Amino acid sequence: MDLLPLLQATGTLVALLLLSKIWISKNTTTNKHFIQAPQPKGAWPILGHLHLLGNQIPLFRTLAAMADQHGPIFTIRLGFRQAVVVSSKQTVTECFTVNDRAFMSRPQTAALKYMGYNGAFSSLGPSDDYWRQLRKFTTHDLLSNRNLESFKHVRALEMDLSIKELYSLSIKNECKVKVSEWFRQVTMNMMLRAIVGKRYSFGDSERGKEARQFARTMEEFMYLGGVSECSDVIPGIEWLDLQGNVKAMKKNGKEMDYFMSMWLEEHVQSRREGKVKKDERDFMDLLLSCFPEDGDGLVFGRKSEDIIKATALRQHLEFKFLKELVCLNRNMALTPKPGNRLESRLLPQVSRA
C-alpha cells in the first residue's frame, strides 16, 4: 500500500515528460516560419525556467538581468506555459493599446477555481465572452454616473460617525487612541457601507470579532490571489499540493463565501420585506435589481448568485487596492527612500503573480 503513492507520482512524472517533449516539438514545428523572441538558456524539462526564478534574488532583478542579456523582449517557459517579458516602455505601451486584445487574457488558475466562484470572479478569469459581457454591463449599467452619484453620501456619513466615535474614545479613555487602527476601521467601514451596507466596530463584541475575522480573510484572499501555484503552470499535479496553497485557497474560498452569502441573504430578505429605501441602496442592492434574485437563474451562462457575490467581492478588492495606492502616494514625500517603499509594498505582489 505504501508503494501506491510512489507509483502514481512516477507515472505522472513520466507522462509529463512525454507531454512536455511533444508540446515543445509541436511548437517548434508550428512556429519555425516566424521570428521568435530570444529565450534564456538553462530551461529544464517540465519546469522550464522556474528554477531560475525561485531563488533568493528578487524576481524583478532576475528578469532585469535577463533583459540586459537578451534585449527588451524575450520569452521564458513557466512549466508548460510560455511567457513574454517586455521591458521597453514603448513596447509595453503598444501591448496595452494597439495590441491590447492579444494581452488581456489570463489563464485558468487554482485561485480562480477555489476563490473566484469557479470563474465568476472576472478579475482572475480569462477574457472570454462572459468577461466581455460582464465588463460591458458593469461599465454602462452598474457603474453609471447616476448610480455612482447615489454613493456620495456614504463617505460623508461614515466620516461624521467615525469622528464622533473618535471623540467619544478620547473622552472615555485616558489612554492614547491608536490612530492607525482607527484609520483602518474607517476605510473598511466606508467600503462595506458602500458595497453591502454594513458597518462594524472592532471591539470585543460579537460584531467586533466578526469584523476582525473578515479583515483577516480579506488580507489572506489578496495574498493567495497573487500566489504562484505549481499546478497553474504544470497541469496534473494539483493533487500533490506541494506548497499547501490549494488547501489554503479552498479554506479561504469557503470563509469568504460565508460572508458574501450571509450578506446576500440579508439583502434578499430586506427586499422581500420592502425595507430597502431608494436613497439608502448599496452596491449589492443595485446588483440584485439588475440580476434575478433566484440563485438558480442563469446570467451570461452562470448562476446569478455567484455573479452577484463575485462582483461585490471584486469591488471591495478594488477599493482596498486603490486605498493602499493613495496612502502610499501621500506618504512618498515623507519617506527618505521612496523607491524602497515601492519595492517593499508592490514588488512582492508582482513576484507572486
For residue range 105-137, list pLDDT tens digits in order.
Answer: 778 888 888 998 888 887 777 777 787 788 887
> What per-residue confidence (pLDDT) applies to 201?
72
Residue 99 has pLDDT above 70, yes or no: yes
Residue 7 has pLDDT above 70, yes or no: no
> What per-residue confidence (pLDDT) applies to 230?
85
- Which region, left, alpha or beta, applies to residue 125 given φ > 0 means left and ψ of -120 to 50 means alpha? beta
Cα dist from 117 to 17, 71, 227, 253, 298, whole Å: 32, 40, 17, 8, 14
Query: Which range has highest mean pLDDT (15-19, 69-73, 343-347)?
Result: 69-73
> What per-residue confidence (pLDDT) applies to 74?
93
| Cell numbers given for 199 | 458597518
248 confidence band (pLDDT: 50, 70, 90): very high
Alpha-carbon span 77 to 44, nearest angstrom: 9
Q: Model confidence over 20-76: pLDDT tens digits?
A: 666 666 555 555 556 778 899 988 888 888 888 877 888 889 999 999 999 999 999
Q: Do residues 45 and 21 touch, judged by C-beta distance below 8 A?
A: yes
346 confidence band (pLDDT: 50, 70, 90): very low
Residue 265 has pLDDT above 80, yes or no: yes
Alpha-carbon span 3 to 261, nearest angstrom: 43
Q: Model confidence over 160-189: pLDDT tens digits?
A: 888 888 888 777 766 677 777 787 788 888
Q: Do residues 97 and 225 touch, judged by C-beta distance below 8 A?
A: no
The rounded mean pLDDT for the chain is: 78
Compute the chain's Rg from CA coordinates. Answer: 24
The more confident residue out of 330 and 318 is 318
251 confidence band (pLDDT: 50, 70, 90): very high
